[in-house]
Amino acid sequence: ETGVTQSPTHLIKTRGQQVTLRCSSQSGHNTVSWYQQALGQGPQFIFQYYREEENGRGNFPPRFSGLQFPNYSSELNVNALELDDSALYLCASSLDKVSLYGYTFGSGTRLTVV
Amino acid sequence: RKEVEQDPGPFNVPEGATVAFNCTYSNSASQSFFWYRQDCRKEPKLLMSVYSSGNEDGRFTAQLNRASQYISLLIRDSKLSDSATYLCVVNSLKNTGTASKLTFGTGTRLQVTL
C-alpha cells in the first residue's frame, strides 16, 4: 500500500468557501507536490514544496496555496472556491527535489464545489 | 501544443491481444520518463520508468526515443486486469535545476474484453 495518505477522501463545498486538504508523506520524503486532476484529464501540477519552502509552481492562481511541515505532512489551501475547482486533488512525495525516479501518490481527495 | 500528447482512446481489445500506446513530448530538456497506470477513481500508480535502451517488465515493454521525443508502451497478451487508463509522464527540471515537475498526458483508456 502507498505510504502517502490524504484526508479527507471526499469533500463537498459551496462556491466561495475555503478548503484545506491534507497529506502525510512517506517518512524521509522531503519533497511534496500537489496535482489537480479534472475529470477526463491527466493530473496538472499545482506546486511543489521542499523542506517547507515552495520551490516550483504550475499555472494556478494565488488562491491556491500550500504549507509543508517538518513532520512530512502538508496542506493545500484553496480560497474563494469556484465550480471549476471540482476535481481529484493528489499529493505526491519523493525523496529529493528533482525526483528523477518518480513519485508516490496518495489516493487523493475528491472535491466537489456546488 | 500540449507538453505531453497521447491518443485518448479508448482502445478496446480482446484478451490476448497486443496493444501499443504512443506519446510525444515537447520539452527536449526533459530528464526522465514514466508510464503510470490509473484505475477508475483511483490514484496513478507507477507502472514503469522508460529508458532509451528500452526496458521490459514481463508483458510490458517501454521505449524512449529522445531524438523524436517519443515514448511507447507495448502490452503483450492483454489480460482483463490490464483495463485501466495509461498515463504518459515526463519529469522536467526547472531552469535552476532545483525542482522538477511531472507533466502528464491526458491518458489512454484501455478496455480488454473477453
Average pLDDT over residues B71-84: 97
Tell me: pLDDT of A2 over 60: no
Average pLDDT over residues B103-107: 94
Residues of A in contact with B46 (CB under 8 A): 102-104
What pLDDT is attached to residue A99? 63
Tell me: pLDDT of B96 over 80: no
- Long-range contacts formed by A44-52: CB under 8 A, 24+ apart: A44/B104, A45/B101, A45/B102, A45/B103, A46/A76, A48/A97, A48/B99, A48/B100, A48/B101, A49/A74, A50/A97, A50/B98, A50/B99
- Say whether B32 and A105 touch across the interface (CB within 8 A): no
Tell me: pLDDT of A27 over 90: no
Q: What is the pLDDT of residues B23-60, one digit of tens each?
A: 999 988 888 899 999 999 899 999 999 988 889 999 99
Closest in A43, A106, A107 to B104, CB measured? A43
Q: What is the pLDDT of residues A85-112, one digit of tens each?
A: 999 999 999 877 666 667 889 999 999 9
Closest in A55, A88, A108 to B99, CB measured? A55
Contacts of A40 (CB under 8 A, 6+ apart): B106
What pLDDT is attached to residue A98? 63
Least CA distance to B109: which residue of chain A? Answer: A40
Tell me: pLDDT of A28 over 90: no
What pLDDT is attached to residue A1? 45
- Say whether A97 and B106 touch across the interface (CB within 8 A): no
A9 is written with which cell numbers? 477522501
Question: Which residues of chain B from 38 to 97 reach within 8 Å of chain A, CB to CB?
Answer: 41-46, 49, 87, 91, 93-94, 97
What pLDDT is attached to residue A81? 98
pLDDT band at B98 (very low <50, low <70, confident <90, very high): low
What pLDDT is attached to residue B95? 62
Average pLDDT over residues B83-110: 86
Residues of A in contact with B45 (CB under 8 A): 105
- Say whether B102 and A90 touch across the interface (CB within 8 A): no
Least CA distance to A58: which residue of chain B? Answer: B101
| Torsion on CA atoms B13, B102, A47, B106, rounded to nearest 10 | -30
- Say whether B99 and A97 touch across the interface (CB within 8 A): yes
Q: What is the pLDDT of residues A36-70, one digit of tens each?
A: 999 989 999 999 998 899 988 999 999 999 999 99
The answer to whether A21 touches A6, Cβ cutoff 8 Å, is yes
What pLDDT is attached to residue A33? 93
- Say whether A42 and B4 touch across the interface (CB within 8 A): yes
Q: Percent of chain B, pLDDT > 90?
A: 75
